Amino acid sequence: MLGLYVHLNGPLWTLRVELFYSLAFPVIYLLARHPRKRWALLACVSLLALLPIPRVFCMHYALAFGLGAAIPFLPRAGDVPYRTTATIALIALLFSQMPADRLGIDMKAAENIEMLVAFVAVYCLYHSGRSMQALEARPFAFIGEISYSVYVLHFPLLFALTPLVVEGFGPIQVRAHPLASLLVLTVVALCTTIFVAALSRRYVEPPGERLGRIFYAASKEQFSRGSTTGKSPSGASRRPSARD
């Protein structure tokens, strides 16, 4: 069943990438902190991104994690218009896929470009010393809170809603007005996804988080008990004195 869900829900493939690089990130971060090792790290992740390694192995994503870990330790780039550059980079991220498709750039190369543009945006935001007030608005904060649920749920919801919209319009009308049908599907899917994701964030994720904390506390307690098992009391190993 899980295999079927992963097959139907394409975004779930990134969970294995997140798991792998989450385990590797402490090492990446420690290397990024070291002034001499930082450039070696960036050279290695850049090489992994450029080598003809099949995309299915996801090794090129090391570039994103390496660049992200290095951002706090990289020097400022002089009198750069940070906020303007960050805004341009964010806009470029939104529309980067369209020119990539038109130019016939393969997906791995397009993702490398997106990671570099994202690095520019985050670097500029970090070193600007000022936050973008628009991103701190309540709607953006709300989207940030439900973003993971949106990420996981949007594809199966879109998969379920598409035949309903087609049936509602009728196949003939969909073929006659493809843009209007796509717009309706987008609005319906977006509203439904946000609603379901908000419910998931409120009622599904918190119990899972509490359960995870319970398991973590239990495993930590069991580990601490196991580490003390077999140790004799402090007085048991004491050598007998002359008074004894």
CB 123 within 8 A of CB 70: no
What confidence tens digit (pLDDT) does each residue in 128-167 have?
A: 876 656 667 888 889 889 988 898 888 889 888 988 888 8
Residue whose entry in the numeric block shows the structure tokens 């008074």:
243
What's the pLDDT band for 114 if we cut at 50, 70, 90?
Answer: very high
Distance between CA 203 and CA 40 in Å, rounded? Answer: 45
Positive/negative CA dihedral, 208, 212, 213, 217: positive
pLDDT > 70: what percent of the chain?
84
Question: What does the pLDDT average to over 82-88?
Answer: 87
What confidence tens digit (pLDDT) does each residue in 171-200 have?
A: 888 888 888 888 898 899 999 999 999 999
Q: Which residues contact 196 (CB under 8 A, 6 or more apart)?
A: 149, 153, 157
CA of residue 223 relative to chain centroid, distance: 30
Angle between the 35-50 and 107-127 helix axes, to the nearest 10 degrees? Answer: 150
What confidence tens digit (pLDDT) does each residue in 19-65 have?
A: 788 889 999 999 999 988 999 999 999 999 999 999 888 899 999 99
Q: What is the largest CA-CA distance in the chain?
A: 103
Domain regions of the chain by residue span: 137-226
Residue 76 identity? R
Distance between CA 150 and CA 196 in Å, rounded? Answer: 8
